[in-house]
Amino acid sequence: MTRVPTNKRQTSADPSGPTVVVSGDGDRLALAGALEIVTLAAARNSLKKWSRQGPSRSLDVAKLDSLDTPGALFLRSLRDKGVKLTGIRAEHQALLDLICGLDLKPLPKVKSVPRWRQLVIQLGKGADNAWQDALDIITFVGRAARWTVNALIHPDCLRPASISRQVAETGIQALPIIGLMAVMIAVVIGYQGVAQLRPYGGEDFTINLVAVSVLREMGVLITSIMVAGRSGSAFTAEIGVMKTREEVDALKVMGIEPMQVLVVPRVIALVITLPLLTFFADIMGLIGGAAIAQTLLDVSPAQYLMRLPHVIDGSDLFVGLIKAPIFAFFIAIVSCMHGLRASGSAESVGRETTRAVVKSIFLVIVLDAFFSILFEKLGL
Amino acid sequence: MTTPATAHAKPILSARGIVNRFGKQVVHDKLSLDIVPGEIIGIAGGSGSGKSVLLKTLTGLHQPDAGEVLLNGKAVQSIGAAEKASLFGVLFQQGALFSSLSVAQNIMLPMREHTALPAEEQQQIAAMKLALAGLDADSGIKFPAALSGGMVKRAAFARALALDPKILFLDEPTSDLDPIAASGIDALIRQLNDSLGITVVIVTHDLTTLFTICGRIAVLVDKKITVDTADKLMKSDHPWIHEFFHGPRAEGAMQARKTSHGK
């Protein structure tokens, strides 16, 4: 017996599909055809009223050609209501016995919590998570710092091969995208500057605006955000996969400290590369500024170069670059921490990666705001 | 007891001249296999002999490089999605339960997709499938992550049975299970075969499963397939098959077969 495709739109009304026929009247009815999952709704509807009537009803099922488990469950429910089943075929009897022998309980209801309580619960959970996260980061920063210092004191614990591979992956391969981003951001600032400053006749100051904001803020911020998205996520995913495949446990069993081989090289590598990338982004940003000066202000690249020393000084470059290693440290720490937090399933790696990226970008911006205030107070 | 293979019975599923190759490596070389309605057939073979590929080919998940798979005489690739869902049930090796759905929702998913039953009735049916697979109703609201290995297999069983398939494909149903849970699964397979008449195709390394519940065993060796009953395969001259059925592990499984067939 083959079944014909049946879906919601063409249920048992489909003439070519299996059908169930109810015949007879009064207390004695007979079922014929197929009592299967696709015809169940039809059978139930035609027997609905009848099955609620008084006792001494019987249903003849001798003409049923096929019966599946949902059909048998339906017959069981009829029998439980006091309907007598007659003429059960031998092959259906085994199935019916099996289904009737099952100890059926309804699925427990999932307790639903009212909306306002859900809000309170989520707020509480969120606060608790944030607190635990803060504690975790502080502990992890401490441990990572301890192992990094240890590696610097005992250079034979350093892993130059691992560090150089990470430098290549996080630094050299990121050059094209970071350079492009820096040029773009200079163009964006340049256009805004010209538009805002022209009414005051001060559009020439666009050069100052672009150069200073790129060097002090934009270069390092764009680079850090890019690196957090690019390399931070890679750190979390790499370490997370190692964690789920018990590779991290294998290291521990061999007496190798995961912090030393997995975290320290990445932290050191990122602390090396992020300032270099930032410097590169600064140069590219200034080149973007030159392009804007040429196209919008008719200032030739030579003139632009002449003016640059008057608009910016060493402290602008310093203020930008000094932040880079600190951002790098936190991006690497947060990413590695989330990688080591992954557990068991593959989906936890994905979840931790998202968290790592969100948290490192958040931290970068918070730290940047903090530095802005600090440098303002210091008069830099 | 499973129905012994009868050569003249009309096959429900038959593979003809299947060729599968990956790059230059030929995995299956024109192999043919007939599966008779109501039987339990075990597919055995060494690691890398292409058992899983064969299972994927039989279920139409993998298009063979040559040959065809016929289900009731109809090419498996041409069967519509809804019809296929009601004919085939597959138990994947890791269960493949959807992790974002509870066990009951996993079971109800094919019903929701392919039938017009009201939600309440779907829940009753899901509860019945859970009971059939030997799980209590409480595990229905659990999520797959909260289940033990044996429970995952049973839950996956319940889902494979959701639309009362005619053929059940089981990929390593007893792997990663402790012996008690594995025997429970074996008993479950036999019970479903007895009472529902489902044809069962089992890919397994588990000699106990092969010896105790499979009516016929298909051995994948040298890119071909040899199908026979366990007793006849025991007498085979082929060195790999001989080793497979007479190795140290086979002895214990044979003991289990004697006990199981004795009762």
Tens-digit pLDDT profile for residues B8-55: 578 888 888 888 888 888 888 888 888 888 899 999 888 878 888 888
What is the distance between the alpha carbons of residues A81 and A78, in angstroms, rounded to a whole number?
A: 5
Q: Which residues 6+ apart lie within 8 Å of B96 measured at CB?
A: B156
Q: Read off the pLDDT band of B157 (50, 70, 90).
A: confident
Q: Read off the pLDDT band of B262 (50, 70, 90).
A: low
Tens-digit pLDDT profile for residues A89-99: 887 888 888 88
Residue B167 near residue B79, CB atoms below 8 Å: no
Task: Provide the pLDDT for residue B137.
Answer: 86
What is the distance between the alpha carbons of residues B141 and B101, in angstroms, rounded to a whole number?
A: 9
- What's the start-to-end Cα distance of chain B, in Å? 11
For chain A, domains (ranges, CATH) are 20-101 (3.30.750.24), 143-378 (no CATH)
Least confident segment among A15-29, B122-136, B169-183:
A15-29
Helix, strand, coil share of chain B (percent; to 5) = 45, 25, 35
B10 touches chain A (CB under 8 A): no
Residue A263 near residue A338, CB atoms below 8 Å: no
Residue type (1 letter), A61: V
The full set of domain ranges for chain B reads 13-262
For residues A219-236, average pLDDT = 95
User: Which of A107, A109, A349 best tests the B interface by mutation, with the highest count of B CBs <10 A?
Assistant: A107
- Residue B2 confidence (pLDDT) above 50: no
Task: Provide the pLDDT for residue A79.
Answer: 83
Q: Read off the pLDDT band of B194 (50, 70, 90).
A: confident
Task: Provide the pLDDT for residue A5.
Answer: 41
- Residue A302 confidence (pLDDT) above 60: yes
Q: Which fold has domain B13-262?
A: Rossmann fold (3.40.50)
Task: Provide the pLDDT for residue A229.
Answer: 94
Q: Read off the pLDDT band of B161 (50, 70, 90).
A: confident
CB contact under 8 A, B118 and A345: no
Count how many Cα atoms sit within 13 Å of the Cα of residue A211 in the half-sphere of its side chain.
Answer: 20
- Residue A75 confidence (pLDDT) above 80: yes
Task: Provide the pLDDT for residue A16.
Answer: 62
Tens-digit pLDDT profile for residues A273-293: 999 999 999 999 999 999 999
- Residue A6 confidence (pLDDT) above 60: no
- Residue A10 confidence (pLDDT) above 50: no
Tens-digit pLDDT profile for residues A348-374: 899 999 999 999 999 999 999 999 999
What is the distance between the alpha carbons of residues B179 and B176, in angstroms, rounded to a whole number?
A: 9
What is the distance between the alpha carbons of residues B181 and A206, in angstroms, rounded to a whole number?
A: 75
For residues B101-122, average pLDDT = 87
For residues A263-272, average pLDDT = 93
CB contact under 8 A, A91 and B118: no
Residue A71 near residue A92, CB atoms below 8 Å: no
- Look-up of token digits 């024109």: B30
B52 touches chain A (CB under 8 A): no
Could you tell me the CA-to-CA distances from A379 to A87, A323, B203 in Å, in that order?
Answer: 98, 16, 74
DSSP-derived 3-state class of residue B26: strand
For residues A14-35, average pLDDT = 76
For residues B182-206, average pLDDT = 86
Give me the residues of A, 336-355, that contact B with CB < 8 A.
344-345, 347
Task: Provide the pLDDT for residue A41.
Answer: 82
What is the distance between the alpha carbons of residues A154 and A16, in angstroms, rounded to a whole number?
A: 81
Least confident segment among A26-30, A375-379, B136-140:
A26-30
Q: Which residues of B touch A94 (CB under 8 A)?
A: 194-195
User: Which of A1, A2, A14 best tests the B interface by mutation, with the highest count of B CBs <10 A?
Assistant: A2
Q: Which residues of A touch B125 (CB under 8 A)?
A: 37, 69-70, 73
- Look-up of token digits 């750190």: A235
- Residue B33 tokens, joined: 């296999």
What is the distance between the alpha carbons of residues B186 and A21, in angstroms, rounded to a whole number?
A: 38
- Residue A322 confidence (pLDDT) above 90: yes
Q: Read off the pLDDT band of A223 (50, 70, 90).
A: very high
Q: What are phi and psi of A340, to 5 degrees?
A: -70, -15
Residue A309 near residue A250, CB atoms below 8 Å: no
Average pLDDT in chain A = 87
What is the distance between the alpha carbons of residues B156 and B161, in angstroms, rounded to a whole number?
A: 9
